[in-house]
Amino acid sequence: MTGARYGAPLADWQGKASCAARPLFYAPAVTTADQHHRPILALVIRLGAAFVLSVMLVLVKLASESGVHLAEILFWRQLPSVPMIGLWLAMTGGLARLRTARIGKHGLRALYGLVGMALNFGAVTLLPLAEATTINFTTAIWAVILSALILRERVGPWRWAAVMLGFVGVLIITRPGDGHIPLLGALVGLGAAFMIALISIQVRDLARTDEPLSIVFWFSAFSIPVLGLAMPFVGAAHSPYQWGLLAGLAGFGLLGQLLLTAALRYGAVASVIVMDYSALMWATVFGWAVFDLLPPASTWIGAPLIVGAGLIIAWREHTLGKPPQSRAVAAQEPNP
């Protein structure tokens, strides 16, 4: 799942080694020429990220249906990030990249991130995949509202019209009162999108001083102990099938995060984020192939309105000369 996030361009990171000498998943704020060096590859990688993260959400839904508690799913999703990132940086001599002078801000980001991830995974367990994915696209709409309320940004008629268009799409999909979509599921999905938009503001602020890789690392480092406190109460013995689901969602989640970051090494942010909407296609395919569910007509009508609202917002940001989101924000996993 995904959503648009907004912010000013991220300042150049420390270290000026050539891109050719850097590993695939090194994604600094490089020059404009470098950003457009291999745009097709960037689009392909971002499409791959959307696919990988869609697979992760399928595994989340299957794990929940098999009886694994949501808190335990969150714990295993987060656990590999710290050792894997730490090991890779230790092997490449880059541990200094994790240094930060804003540890308190990272702690607050982790708190919001945990709430957002819990809501996002919760929406997946409560709703069909296509509907959960579509509602998650309202992140772009919430980002406009928060930009006006928190950042005091002037929002023009185009973006306010997009906000209204997006919420009309939500009403069409959810059809309040007819019971097609559980009210709780819809509210949880909207809450997840709201939290992702709020987190994007935090990440934009952190990106002024810290690398995306550092932001991802500290999010996991803070959230794992918190989730670990719940494990004695929610942890349980699992079948090989359940362990396979947990290992798969952890692996696909980490791979998706790395692919999100890698796409930004080869392409401009404004170009690659459009590929995130391909997640709706995968959600529809997986919903039919794995769960034998196809979206009703209301979803086919409402989804283009929400996607269109997000594209209008991105277009207006581009027209106004404001990048739709910073590189660091765009490198964040759509499920915070």
Q: What is the 3-state secondary structure (H, E, C) of 252-272?
A: HHHHHHHHHHHHHHHCCHHHH
Cα angle, residue 217 at apex, residues 127 and 65 outer, rounded to 5°: 25
Look at 87-101, 108-122, 200-214 and tell me which has the smallest mean pLDDT.
200-214
Chain mean pLDDT for the chain: 82
Alpha-carbon torsion (206, 145, 47, 279), positive or negative: positive
Q: Is the pLDDT of residue 144 over 50?
A: yes
Q: Is the pLDDT of residue 332 over 70?
A: no
Residue 269 burial (CB count, 10 A): 25
Average pLDDT over residues 149-176: 87
Cα separation, 289 vs 214, whole angstroms: 37
Which of 78, 88, 82, 100 has the alpha carbon at shortest distance from 336?
A: 78
Q: What is the largest CA-CA distance in the chain?
A: 59
pLDDT band (50, 70, 90) for residue 316 = confident
Cα separation, 197 vs 217, whole angstroms: 20
Q: What is the pLDDT of residues 48-58, one digit of tens each?
A: 989 999 999 99
Cα separation, 265 vs 191, whole angstroms: 31
- pLDDT at position 4 is 39
Q: What is the 3-state secondary structure (H, E, C) of 316-328?
A: HHHHCCCCCCCHH
Residue 176 burial (CB count, 10 A): 11
- pLDDT at position 122 is 95
Domain ranges (residues) in the chain: 36-330
pLDDT band (50, 70, 90) for residue 321 = low
Q: What is the 3-state secondary structure (H, E, C) of 152-188?
A: CCCCCHHHHHHHHHHHHHHHHHHCCCCCCCCHHHHHH
- pLDDT at position 260 is 79
- pLDDT at position 270 is 63
Pair 76, 249: CB distance under 8 Å: yes
Cα separation, 267 vs 242, whole angstroms: 37
Q: What is the pLDDT of residues 246-268, one digit of tens each?
A: 999 999 998 988 887 777 777 76
